[in-house]
């Protein structure tokens, strides 16, 4: 493809993307294809002779679009939606047009410098302490691919720090602390690094939040047994229910355990710190005071296209001491002089994508005010959903709504449904399995299920940038109708 052919194909691609967005509402959220559909449609090997690009572009429409789950669809309420924006798309296009792996300052100064500035912009937007700013020269932030990578990096850095402080401690006695509600990133970090993971119990009564006393007891018990907990992966906004670990209480405990690194995974909820009214609930002061590292994903609820996970550390040396490997071919005058950040030493790989460009485009285009408006709007939409569920005769909220997430279930408490006696927990679970099977058989809406304290529940997560009140009300109506049909199916 030459430059003029690219121009033509590029215009066509943008036209087609616009058409996609104009018609998105009319599409199903969920694809109807069956497993293996694509293998059956594509040749078994790459073509020997190059093909005309128009045919390739048309095949994207023909084969790929039908196999997509439309995460940007306004009726997408599953997992945590990824609020993606045109600004982010354009940034990704520009970034890939000059493709460079920006691993150190010299290999593309703009990439490093923009990332350093954007991480400071983002830190200020969220109210993080100046200690986390790149301008502090001590702490700093970098953009990672995912929250899982960010947590893994935190664990690697924490282990390295711990082992430097305690060289005689063997790896087999090291323990990563998580809770029963931590995202699978905790177990994965343990798996990758060959480290034990202990999931601390959190309770329904405590709204699945890790309390200081639970942590203290675990630390005391493990100390007696000669185990060495060296990092706690605390969560602000868990995946299942949006629970918020009590970072203030955690901080009060870890003051007595200075070797315990506190990583705060706020992959989803962290961007809500942009709104001052949520800072107390999300324990911002305690994060600022006690966290060694903090992560949130702008690619979840932060209007920025995947991937855009932001990770801050209180001391960048924690990262570079653990991750700096510098063969001669990676040395540069600026790196040797220590006058620049070499981001290759702040993450796992060598090469890195130019992610900060999309954060720059998004933050400038929306402004802090527009960003906060979007967060507040989605929380408000979730509150509308939650109040509809609260008033429902068939559905019940399982926990208080957390920001833009509600967890609910089918619960036939109404006499109008002839439910005279209380249902056993197992029966309610069976009923909700039927209910969720019905919901997930639909193509026009997508939600995910979870289990809280043994109870099968359903999550409703608002965040797709195009979701409006009309979609919330439609979703509620559909979920109520499916609830009644599930009850009928169950009573048959």
Binding site for ligand PLP (CB under 6 A): 79-80, 146-148, 183, 185, 235, 237-239, 265, 267-268, 297, 309
Structure tokens belonging to residue 121: 């912009």
The DSSP secondary structure of 372-405, one letter per residue, reads: HHHHHHHHHHHHHHHHHHHT-SSEEESS--BTTE
Min. distance of Cβ 237 from ligand PLP in angstroms? 6
* Strand 309-313 versus strand 395-397 pairing type: unpaired
Our CB check for ligand PLP shows the closer of 70 and 183 to be 183
Our CB check for ligand PLP shows the closer of 85 and 238 to be 238
Min. distance of Cβ 198 from ligand PLP in angstroms? 18
The C-alpha atoms of residue 119 and residue 310 are separated, in whole angstroms, by 7
Contact 77, 385 (CB under 8 A): no
Min. distance of Cβ 243 from ligand PLP in angstroms? 10
Min. distance of Cβ 155 from ligand PLP in angstroms? 13
Structure tokens belonging to residue 21: 């967005």
Min. distance of Cβ 425 from ligand PLP in angstroms? 26
Min. distance of Cβ 110 from ligand PLP in angstroms? 25
CB atoms closer than 10 angstroms to residue 234: 30
The C-alpha atoms of residue 200 and residue 483 are separated, in whole angstroms, by 34
Our CB check for ligand PLP shows the closer of 288 and 296 to be 296
Contact 296, 325 (CB under 8 A): no
Our CB check for ligand PLP shows the closer of 172 and 184 to be 184
Our CB check for ligand PLP shows the closer of 405 and 456 to be 405
Structure tokens belonging to residue 338: 């220590």
Contact 52, 467 (CB under 8 A): no
Our CB check for ligand PLP shows the closer of 398 and 486 to be 398
Nearest to 147 by CA among 279, 300, 284: 300
Our CB check for ligand PLP shows the closer of 265 and 411 to be 265
Min. distance of Cβ 145 from ligand PLP in angstroms? 7
The C-alpha atoms of residue 383 and residue 403 are separated, in whole angstroms, by 8
* Strand 261-265 versus strand 228-235 pairing type: parallel
The DSSP secondary structure of 256-272, one letter per residue, reads: T-TT-EEEEE-TTGGGG
Our CB check for ligand PLP shows the closer of 239 and 356 to be 239
Q: How far is CA 226 from CA 70, 174, 220, in A?
A: 50, 9, 10
Min. distance of Cβ 267 from ligand PLP in angstroms? 3
């Amino acid at each position: 493809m030459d430059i003029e052919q690219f121009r033509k194909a590029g215009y066509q691609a943008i036209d087609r993307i616009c058409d996609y967005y104009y018609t998105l509402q009319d599409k199903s959220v969920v694809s109807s294809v069956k497993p293996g559909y694509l293998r059956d449609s594509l040749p078994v090997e790459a073509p020997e002779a190059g093909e005309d690009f128009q045919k390739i572009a048309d095949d994207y429409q023909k084969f790929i679009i039908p196999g997509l789950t439309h995460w940007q669809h306004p009726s997408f309420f599953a997992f945590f939606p990824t609020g993606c924006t045109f600004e982010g798309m354009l940034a990704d296009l520009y970034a890939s047009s000059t493709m460079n792996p920006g691993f150190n300052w010299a290999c593309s100064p703009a990439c490093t410098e923009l990332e350093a500035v954007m991480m400071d912009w983002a830190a200020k937007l969220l109210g993080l302490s100046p200690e986390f700013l790149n301008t502090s020269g001590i702490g700093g932030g970098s953009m990672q691919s995912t929250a899982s990578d960010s947590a893994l990096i935190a664990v690697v850095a924490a282990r390295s720090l711990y082992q430097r402080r305690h060289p005689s401690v063997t790896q087999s006695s090291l323990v990563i602390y998580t809770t029963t509600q931590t995202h699978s990133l905790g177990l994965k970090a343990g798996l990758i690094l060959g480290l034990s993971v202990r999931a601390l119990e959190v309770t329904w009564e405590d709204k699945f939040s890790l309390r200081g006393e639970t942590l203290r007891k675990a630390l005391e018990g493990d100390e007696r047994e000669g185990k060495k907990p060296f990092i706690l992966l605390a969560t602000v906004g868990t995946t299942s229910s949006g629970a918020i670990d009590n970072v203030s209480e955690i901080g009060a405990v870890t003051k007595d355990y200075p070797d315990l690194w506190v990583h705060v995974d706020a992959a989803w909820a962290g961007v809500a710190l942009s709104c001052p009214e949520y800072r107390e609930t999300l324990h911002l002061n305690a994060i600022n005071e006690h966290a060694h590292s903090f992560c949130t994903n702008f690619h979840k609820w932060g209007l920025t296209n995947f991937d855009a996970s932001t990770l801050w550390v209180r001391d960048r040396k924690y990262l570079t001491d653990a991750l700096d490997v510098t063969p001669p071919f990676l040395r540069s005058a600026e790196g040797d002089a220590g006058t620049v950040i070499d981001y290759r030493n702040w993450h796992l790989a060598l090469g890195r994508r130019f992610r900060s460009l999309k954060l720059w485009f998004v933050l400038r285009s929306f402004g802090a005010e527009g960003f906060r408006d979007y967060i507040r709007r989605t929380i408000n939409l979730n509150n509308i959903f939650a109040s509809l569920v609260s008033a429902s005769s068939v559905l019940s909220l399982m926990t208080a709504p957390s920001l833009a997430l509600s967890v609910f279930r089918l619960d036939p408490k109404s006499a109008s449904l002839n439910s005279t006696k209380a249902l056993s927990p197992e029966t309610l679970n069976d009923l909700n399995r039927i209910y969720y099977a019905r919901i997930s058989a639909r193509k026009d809406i997508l939600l995910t299920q979870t289990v809280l304290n043994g109870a099968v529940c359903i999550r409703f997560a608002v965040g797709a940038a195009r979701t409006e009140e009309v979609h919330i009300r439609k979703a509620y109506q559909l979920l109520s109708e499916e609830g009644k049909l599930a009850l009928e199916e169950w009573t048959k």
